[in-house]
């Protein structure tokens, strides 16, 4: 099996050139703008019993990766992440200079309303979508500098992805859907199916191994997609609105499965959602609104939680 081989950081091109010293969001906060009361912010503050602060007020957007030495246990870092669509009159910034760190073992929930930029952020973190500005580092390696091979290894070994719409292949059985990512590993078919069956079993779906997605409930499909995301044993799980298409009961099952992955299996999880029920499971919560990230406890930002 191939292992993750990435060149050391200093062999790569210097990344700071395209990182702006100040983002529009930071500027806005410095100017005292954006102080309106948002009912969702209010609600989450009540829920958490803490007040939310825009991350821009921490001064992070002014930092470059040089100012932030790699810390032990750090898996993930976003620095000044910005995503814009369109040009001229149609120019729209959907992510406005977001910076944060995630350490091994954290369960980070990024909570915000529909249209706030959650999926865009997650797609950038997963390397599926390039940022317009800023930098994403995984274990201190800049994702934007990955070669195609490194990106493939990143997807095949480092991260597992779970989406709101399950994204299962209709023409494959549950078992083959779970086994699908292993095909790229070059491992023998028998081993791939064995691993996939074990994974389905862990999610209570062994008896549905031969079923096609359209023969499964939404909750079952989402658990198949969780099994698929985990079959290559990634340390980091990126999850986008996993209960968006589920009824409350199925959502509860998926929610507790994800918690188990964090608590028992010690996986690092970054989950974006507008479902408030996830907040109580998180070790750290960010709130996202209009492409700007806010956190509950700026003084411990980037440090080990609990």
Ligand X SMILES: Nc1ncnc2c1ncn2[C@@H]1O[C@H](COP(=O)(O)OP(=O)(O)O)[C@@H](O)[C@H]1O
Residues at the interface with Mg ion (CB under 5 A):
118-119
d(CA 271, CA 221): 18
Residues that bind ligand X (CB under 6 A): 85, 92, 94, 112, 114-120
Q: Which is nearer to ligand X, 117 or 127 (CB)?
A: 117
C-beta of 121 vs 200, nearer to ligand X: 121
Q: Crossing angle for the helix pair 189-202 and 174-183, nearest 10 degrees?
A: 130
Nearer to Mg ion, 68 or 84 (CB): 84
Q: Which residue is nearest to Mg ion (CB)?
A: 119
Binding partner of residue 53 among ligand X, Mg ion, none, CB under 5 to 8 Å per kind?
none
Rounded-to-integer distance, Cα 271 and Cα 241, Å: 7
Binding partner of residue 115 among ligand X, Mg ion, none, CB cut-off 5 to 8 Å per kind: ligand X
Q: CB within 8 A of 13, min separation 6: which ones?
A: 145
- DSSP E strand stretches across 121-254: 133-138, 141-142, 159-162, 236-240
Q: Which is nearer to ligand X, 195 or 241 (CB)?
A: 241
Residue 191: name its binding partner from Mg ion, ligand X, none (Cβ under 5 to 8 Å by kind). Answer: none
Q: In angstroms, what is the minimal distance from the CB of 56 to ligand X? A: 18
Query: Which one, of 119, 26, 120, 140, lies nearest residue 75 by Cα?
Result: 140
Q: CA torsion angle for 60, 293, 122, 226 (degrees, to 10)?
A: 120
Q: Of these partners, ligand X, Mg ion, none, which one is at the site of residue 85 (CB under 5 to 8 Å by kind)? A: ligand X
Contact 135, 79 (CB under 8 A): yes
Least distance (Å) between residue 34 CB and ligand X: 17
Q: Which of Mg ion, ligand X, none interacts with 94 (beta carbon under 5 to 8 A by kind)?
A: ligand X
How near is the Cβ of 302 to ligand X at its closest, in Å? Answer: 23
> Taking a C-beta distance cutoff of 8 angstroms, is the pair 276, 43 a contact?
yes
């Amino acid at each position: 099996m191939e292992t993750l081989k990435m060149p050391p950081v200093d062999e790569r091109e210097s990344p700071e050139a395209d990182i702006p010293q100040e983002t529009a969001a930071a500027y806005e906060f410095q100017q005292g703008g954006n102080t309106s009361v948002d009912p969702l912010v209010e609600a989450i503050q009540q829920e958490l019993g803490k007040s939310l602060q825009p991350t821009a007020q921490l001064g992070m957007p002014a930092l470059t990766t040089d100012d932030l030495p790699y810390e032990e246990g750090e898996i993930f870092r976003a620095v000044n992440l910005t995503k814009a669509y369109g040009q001229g009159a149609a120019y729209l910034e959907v992510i406005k200079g977001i910076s944060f760190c995630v350490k091994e073992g954290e369960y980070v929930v990024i909570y915000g309303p529909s249209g706030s930029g959650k999926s865009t952020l997650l797609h950038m973190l997963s390397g599926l979508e390039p940022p317009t500005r800023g930098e994403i580092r995984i274990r201190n390696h800049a994702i934007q500098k990955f070669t195609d091979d490194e990106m493939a290894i990143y997807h095949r070994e480092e991260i597992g992805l779970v989406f709101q719409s399950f994204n299962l292949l209709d023409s494959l059985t549950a078992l083959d859907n779970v086994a699908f990512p292993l095909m790229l590993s070059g491992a023998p078919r028998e081993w791939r199916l064995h691993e996939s069956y074990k994974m389905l079993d862990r999610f209570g779906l062994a008896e549905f191994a031969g079923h096609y997605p359209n023969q499964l409930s939404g909750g079952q499909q989402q658990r198949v997609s969780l099994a698929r995301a985990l079959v290559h044993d990634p340390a980091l799980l990126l999850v986008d609105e996993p209960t968006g298409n589920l009824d409350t009961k199925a959502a509860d099952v998926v929610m507790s499965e994800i918690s188990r992955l964090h608590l028992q299996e010690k996986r690092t999880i970054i989950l974006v959602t507008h479902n408030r029920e996830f907040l109580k499971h998180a070790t750290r919560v960010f709130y996202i609104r209009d492409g700007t990230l806010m956190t509950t406890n700026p003084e411990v930002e980037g440090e080990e939680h609990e």
